Chains A and B, each alone.
Chain A
Amino acid sequence: MKPNVLILRAPGTNCDLETAYAFELAGATTERVHVNRVLENPALLERFQILCFPGGFSYGDDIAAGRVMATKIRVNLVDAIRKFRDDGKLILGVCNGFQILIKSGILVADDDKGAPVTLTWNKSGVYTDRWARLEVKSDKCVFLKGIEKMYLPVAHAEGKFMARDESVLDALEAQGRLALRYVPSDNPNGAARDVAGACDETGRVFGLMPHPERHVDKTQRPDWTRFRDDPDFATRVGDGLQIFKNATEYFA
């Protein structure tokens, strides 16, 4: 079955087109839907197998990255989205999407002290666009199946993964949920335990700061001109494509 992907856009979403393209390259069908449509009619989710929160600056990232969109979800959509997950479907958040998944409590649920983790300002205090080497540290996450390493770009100001305390990190790590890490020397934002991406307890909800949709083509890699004469260059694809393929093939 070709899964149908809902690319959820909001005012300020700006990676929706290329994310849709990445899913289509991987064999899925996609629809870009404005969040207002889902707020009007949460049952609309039923037609889809994958829900994707793409990158961008939802509602300007005013107050804090993803905060306004996450608030809308917490107040209006959290049950519909939990049901979506409990139906065995997949949820992916990229960059701003990861920020929304974290701040809405979908990816890591609140406990009695509130939200245990957050994504906050880069150690440098500024927006940074660069590439980072990544390592997969657990086999829990559906989206990362079979992937060991990736080279992907990050582009964010508020991507530093932080937890309330070490015990929160220990627990998540023990559950295999801190699934994607920066190679320590490439940690672009000071994230705790070099966390680049994390999943929920089912492994079907995954968020990451790097942009896999920006590396589905070989010419997106910053140093591709150095490999042009390699014998297998013609057949190469970008490292990020496998994430979208894993999601699509999950429904095969």
Chain B
Amino acid sequence: MLWEVDIFAAPGLPDVAAAEATADALDLGFSPNLTFGTARGYLAQGDLTREQIDALVEKLLADPVVERATVGRVGDPALDLSLRGDKGKIVYAIPKPGVTDAVADAALKSAREFGIVPEAVRTFKKYWIDGASDEELRRLGRKLLANDAIEQVAYGKLDFDTLQVGSSYKFELIVVPIRRFSDDELLALSKDMGLYLSLLEMRTIQEHFVKLDRDPTDVELETIAQTWSEHCSHKTLAGVIEYDDGTGTKRLFENMLKETIFDATVKIRENLGESDFCVSVFSDNAGVVKFDDEHNVCFKVETHNHPSALEPYGGANTGIGGVIRDPMGTGMGAKPVCNTDVFCFAPPKLDASEVPNGVLHPRRVVKGVVAGVRDYGNRMGIPTVNGAVYFDKRYLGNPLVYCGNVGLIPVDKSFKEPKPNDLIVAMGGRTGRDGIHGATFSSVELTSESETVSGGAVQIGNAITEKTVLDVMLEARDRGLYDAVTDCGAGGFSSAVGEMGEDIGAEVDLSAALLKYEGLSYSEIWISEAQERMVFAVPKDKWPELKALCDSEDVEAFVLGEFKPNGRLVLKYDGKVVADLEMKFMHKGRPRAVRQAIYRPTDVAPITVAPEGVELPARTIASEAVSRAQSCGKEFKSAAALDLEAILGSLNVASKHWIIRQYDHEVQGGSVLKPLVGVASDGPGDAAVLRPKVSSRRGLVVSNGMNPNYGDYDTYHMATSAIDEAIRNAVAVGANPNTISILDNFCWGASDKPEVLGSLVRAALACREASIEFGTPFISGKDSLNNEFRPEGSDEAVAIPPSLLISAMGQVDDVETCVSMDLKKPGDAIYLVGTTKNELGGSHLSLVRNWVGGQVPTVDVPLAKRIYNAIYAATQARLISAAHDLSEGGLAVALAESAFAGGFGAEVDLAAVELASESGSLGSLPGVDDVADCVKLFSESNSRFIVEVAEKNAEAFEKILTDAGAPFVAIGKVVEEPRLTIKGSAGGAAIDADLADLKRRWQKPLDLGGEVD
């Protein structure tokens, strides 16, 4: 028997979900005449009486103060009526069988408290929609109400009467006769099985089994494909690359990453000698550095791009859930202390007609991704403290979702070593069909077909399962109950057991695995990427205590196998061997293809307006702001003031408070500098500061740098600029520049195109050089290649812009020395620190003006180091009242942000600012009268800050900077009146703007609704 419970907001209270659906439908281009009514509900299956269901509704499922419910058997006409009197056609959105439905699980378990035992429960959303044709209704179902990757839609009536999940599995060993396959058959097999292996790789496997004189089983092929996947082995960037840098010299990399980024860290550690602060780099799940005498800290940033494109909520949800397991799986397990997230989207207000088939509207992507990170991060009790969002139309088919996590780990628990004959123990979530082929799928280009072929790669997380694993793991770690731990990420058990047992060997009994539902084959169990699972190496004598600990906190754990010291991976199911592979072949047998990479240098072109009809893809972020600024009405505004308004209102710069406020950035009680700072807590902070140990004054600083716009001109300067920006943000709040560590995350287009790969190699070379010169080591990294989308019926794939995220982690001895960016006190002096050059190429001024050409910002690392050390010294001496880094929009934007964040005005004179002599003749800029002032206001030259200094500290501040050889100039002062007044070099007002107006323009564009203020 299947009961349905519909729960409505009580009469007189708002139907929030309906209001949201109405707004979203409008944004997605549906008719404004549609009206929505909603209910949330439960389906309960089992031998239950009406009285029992009524009792559950009253005691458990509905809140009697604010909700009302209808109950009936599925199909009961009473269920067609909305208690709120909503009219129209009914649409149900129901999680597909097997998709995580935590609320249903909770209802099932809690019902037992009342002695009521349903067989199965599932939740759903139900809509009454009036004014829609059947065609519109179906389009709504597809585009707004449900996502086919995880949900099924029913129109009018539910089309099933049981919730059964899974059917029993009958063992059958599958052997694939590849020894006799032709090349075409090998390629077809790779495609059909979703292995995504090249012909060379398939042939290598074939030869291996010819030598063994047998054919492989399906699970052997799956295991090899997973181990060799781009996602797990980084075969492109850690592979052989022949690089032509366009100057006639060619360079052969045996292992590109090792020879660039890893190599920089090796050199830095040598240079640092005694003061080397790295502990474990590029070897564990996260990079580890020293923090204090008792603890180290580790940091990892991952991407979850492909899943987020198909199902933004689930993709981002499992993205953050997955990266949290990286520090948890580092050393003997770290305690996660903060999250970061950086997103790249297409503009959320893009016209629906511009969104091709197979692509979700960016507004849905933005909302889904933000909600996915929110619900997982908040539930885990980990503050999300830092982030950024970039917009460009090229992210339409390929949004980027970078999720990061920092963990705190005792010094003596920072390394692990599985021992021979240890038990392989799996802990946490059960195994289902979730995410099968996630590792291989995340390594390929998306097409309009991806949604249908890859749906299984999408999952929904359950944060509380992971939280309970974390609670138990930290206790077990401190009691010494295991020798090693790693996370089950991409590739599932296959990857976790394969990596941990690489140097020993492992024997696994797949029939021992706890399953979510019946019917999984041995192969599915092995490669499932079900979330919230960790794998431990446990000494046999410790297992009973570990099991008891897990039981005491309702955490499931079981013995999956044993690390048998024979160098083989043996998988069994019900006692039968289903795989027997040499660890050596899996980890060392992959053939190495030589890839070509070319970089073609181009001369810097003078800045011009983009040709008629050409709009830069990145410019879509700003066109709305531009038109708004240009139609400013009667009041006279200078061109510079209009430019400033347009940049403040452009999506990359605009306030991210709508996102930030949805994240708990203060849980764990260590928050020092929050993402939003200032007198009204709404100014854009440069970096987050937290105390990971509440009883200590020592602080951790987290920041990032990223400039996809510069990459369109030169990925070398894009990379050095990103590194400089990440360090600069950390230094602005008070981090010691000499103990900053950084991470790289490369998200790029198709790596089989030599120019695309060349632009990446060039960026990696830049990373190496800048990292060594700064003395700032990379400690971990990750790449995501082939971020291209091929729209239906098109041969041309759209590639994302080169997107290198640099994440930085800094430290500060005493958090009370930290500085925020908001202006503090009228009368204080404002300094510009650093050198301003004519660097408007790829700038936000260029974006809002639709300019092309120009020099992109470069980094003078020795100069930057002098500046950062001087700022740090002045911060330590508490001479600085406010500091803000200059980035998107340059000086003008930084001044405006610091002023409106502090609630005080600023009076600044551009005549004081000197342009660097190498800027030479400035030439002309389209439609600009005073080119020098335009450069001073909007150039995005790196390594610069504005700094507020109280009069009593000015002399000491100037001395520190002078002694350090850091260029600086006093440009004005803080004033009481809330206006930003910038005098032009020739005397007139370049900008004279009301702060409240600037702030409003900055806050509005990304306020996607919902927040109460």
Contacts and interface: CB of A to CB of B under 8 A. Distances in A.
B306 to A, nearest CB: 27
Contacts of B668: 14-15, 17-18
Nearest to A129: B664
B63 A120 contact: yes
A213 B553 contact: no
A60 B379 contact: yes
B380 interface: yes
A118 B61 contact: no
Interface string A20-42: 01100000000000101100000
User: Which of B102, B109, B110, B681 gathers most chain A CB within 10 Å?
Assistant: B110
Interface string A148-169: 0000010100000011100000
B61 A126 contact: no
A189 B1012 contact: yes
B106 A68 contact: yes
Interface string A33-62: 010110000000000000000011101111
Nearest to B678: A223
Given A118-B65, A222-B676, A34 B666 contact: no
Interface residues of B, number: 71
B672 interface: yes
B815 interface: yes
B60 interface: yes
Contacts of A115: 63-65
Given A21-B694, A71-B60, A124-B1010, A12 B816 contact: no
Interface string B527-568: 000000000000000000000000011100000000000000
A234 to B, nearest CB: 9
Interface size class, chain A: 35 or more
Nearest to A155: B664
A120 B66 contact: yes
Contacts of B63: 64, 115, 118, 120
A240 to B, nearest CB: 10
Given A15-B381, A63-B103, A226-B824, A214 B64 contact: no
Contacts of B1011: 124, 126, 128
B110 A219 contact: no
A9 to B, nearest CB: 8
B365 interface: no
A223 B669 contact: no
Contact of A214 (B66, B462, B467, B669): B669
Interface string B86-117: 00000000000000001101110110011000
A226 B818 contact: no
User: Which of A13, A113, A126, A189 gathers most chain B CB within 10 Å?
Assistant: A126
B380 A14 contact: yes
A225 B468 contact: no
Contacts of B660: 129
Contact of A17 (B19, B59, B694): B694
Nearest to B1011: A124
A121 B20 CA distance: 14
A214 B110 contact: no
B294 to A, nearest CB: 16
A116 B65 CA distance: 7
Q: Is the interface of A mostly helix, strand, loop or mixed?
A: mixed
A75 B107 CA distance: 15
Given A124-B1011, A130-B661, A188-B1012, A162 B65 contact: yes
Contacts of A188: 1012
A67 interface: yes
B692 to A, nearest CB: 11
A63 B110 contact: yes
Interface string B654-667: 00000011111111
B58 interface: yes
A130 B378 contact: no
Contacts of B663: 127, 129
Interface in A94-147: 113-118, 120-131
A15 B816 CA distance: 24
Nearest to B695: A21
Contacts of B665: 129
11 contacts: A9-B471, A11-B553, A57-B464, A62-B105, A63-B106, A63-B110, A127-B374, A220-B666, A220-B669, A223-B679, A229-B950
The 10 closest A-B pairs by CB, nearest first: A14-B381, A18-B669, A62-B106, A118-B65, A60-B464, A125-B16, A225-B820, A124-B1012, A12-B464, A222-B681
Interface of B: 16-17, 19-20, 58-61, 63-66, 102-103, 105-107, 109-110, 113-114, 374, 378-381, 462-464, 467-468, 471, 552-554, 660-674, 676-679, 681, 691, 694-695, 815-816, 818-820, 822, 824, 878, 882, 950, 1010-1012
Given A113-B64, A114-B58, A122-B1012, 15 more contacts: A15-B381, A18-B670, A37-B552, A61-B379, A62-B106, A63-B106, A64-B63, A76-B113, A126-B1010, A127-B378, A188-B1012, A214-B671, A222-B676, A228-B878, A229-B950
